Amino acid sequence: METGQLFSEQNENHLPPLAVRMRPRTAEEHLGQEHLTGDRQFLRAGLEGGRLYSLVLWGPPGSGKTSLARLLASRKDTEFYELSAVSASVKDVRDIIQKARSHQHLGRQTLLFLDEIHRFNKAQQDALLPAVESGHIILVGATTENPSFHVISPLLSRCRVLRLKALGYPFLQQILQRSLQSDILLSRFQVDLSDSDRDFLIESAGGDARKMLNTLDIAFNTVQSSDPAADRIVISREAITAALQEKKLLYDRAGDYHYDTISAFIKSVRGSDPDAAIYWLAVMLEGGEDPVFIARRLIILASEDIGNAEPFALVLAVSTLQAVQAIGMPEAMIPLSQATAYLSAAPKSNAAYMAVRKASENVREKGAASIPMHLRNAPTELMRNEGYGLGYRYPHDEGGYSDQNYLPEDRETDAPFYRPISNGYEKFIAQRLKSLRPRRYEK
């Protein structure tokens, strides 16, 4: 019996959330993951009654992981259990495994859907391993995190990892339209949602169908409760905005999106796009990222990617860290934005960074060479008699520069390690080094 057949005025207030009511009941209704559910794709056979395999569904929130698991378990020969790794214990897992053995004797298979599998510790995952290996349970784990970092290798090797995508605008639009037309509650009303407000709702979801439907659900209930007798419900931008006020950003300081966002931030600064860099900065700060962490990353970037093309960049980055530590949030976003804009616009050079990498590689391959005698310290008469410091020429006695050799003799041919480029202040450095050591820098 469909949910709609159970509906009455008396149970309207006890309906599940809209996102639950609109869960797809067939593979065709499950949108946005056609690379997995389409004809001749991996999951299609399982959805149509073929063999089931243990899976890890990896994808962003609201991409349909739970819906896929429920579709796989909707077959007549399958018992379905669902656990959340946030609250489940090893005992819960063992109880289900025991039930699965009983089901197997009756010719039925057991599918365990484990939401947020990345939150299970090693001991909890170890408890699952024998049952998955023996086939007593079909495990379908869902995670927003990279499973290679959070799922133990023995368990991961017995599961097929499937990557789900964030839902694009066309799919969210279809889900939204289907909800307005066929949901057991919304379809009873004339719901007015302008094109611009519809776009606003979809874009605010960030690819998350559950977030979109929950926002619509809250907005609808808020408007409808103000006039219970109305047949026409107008959902305005203001109603959507109010429903979004308690939203949780996709950004997660402990998850993959944390690393992906700081990566996008650094690459935007490196690529000299201050608008993109400041956007990703805002995403991190709005998501609750530690501003000190961001400031430290800017210090690294100032040396690694800007270097001597703009030496002031490092000074500004260090000052920004000090300012952030001194004033805290929310004011800390101001110096962070200033530094981000300046570093993004600054000329770029990784020559100093590449120099130390090349020198380190030389030391690893050839070992540390003997230090030339004229460069050695000679604090005692015995050491001076042994030739320590002999022949050293003090550059300031020669006008500030001495052309003596400072590298071990067998490493002179490996130089230069530092190769300044003709960008920003480093152009001046390159010209000076070529004039001082023409044989090394013109070869």
| pLDDT tens for each residue of 47-93 | 877 788 899 999 988 899 999 999 988 877 889 999 988 788 888 99
Tokens 């289900």 belong to 96
Q: What is the pLDDT of residue 246?
A: 53
113 and 38 housed in the same domain: yes
Q: What is the pLDDT of residue 254?
A: 52
pLDDT by residue (tens digit) across 332-360? 999 999 999 999 999 999 999 999 998 89
Judge whether residue 172 has pLDDT over 90: yes
pLDDT (0 to 100) of residue 6: 42
Domain identity same for 48 and 135: yes
Question: Quick one: pLDDT at residue 75?
Answer: 79
pLDDT tens per residue across span 93-112: 999 999 999 888 888 899 99
Q: Is residue 352 part of a domain?
A: no
In a domain, 363, yes or no: no
**In the structure, what pLDDT confidence band is assigned to residue 437 with cuts at 50, 70 and 90?**
confident
How would residue 9 be classed by pLDDT, with cut points 50, 70 and 90? very low
Looking at the fold, whether 183 and 154 belong to one and the same domain comes out as: no
CA distance 288 to 282: 10
* Claim to verify: residue 59 and residue 75 sit in the same structural domain: yes
Do both 76 and 92 map to the same domain?
A: yes
Name the most confidently modeled range: 282-286, 347-351, 370-374.
347-351
Q: Do both 38 and 157 map to the same domain?
A: yes
Asked if 321 and 299 touch (Cβ cutoff 8 Å), the reply is yes
Predicted structure pTM score: 0.60
Task: Write down which residue in 191, 216, 244 finishes a domain.
Answer: 244
Residues 147, 173: one domain? no
At 157 the pLDDT is 93
Q: Is the dihedral of CA 315, 318, 321, 323 positive or negative?
A: negative
- Secondary structure (3-state) at 239: helix
Residue 174, both tokens:
């279809």
- Domain count for the chain, please give it: 4
Instruction: Please give the average per-residue pLDDT across 284-310, as a whole number.
Output: 91
**Domain span at 315:** 256-345
Walk across the sheet containing 78-84 and list its strands: 78-84, 109-115, 138-143, 55-58, 160-163
**Do residue 155 and residue 188 come from a single domain?**
no
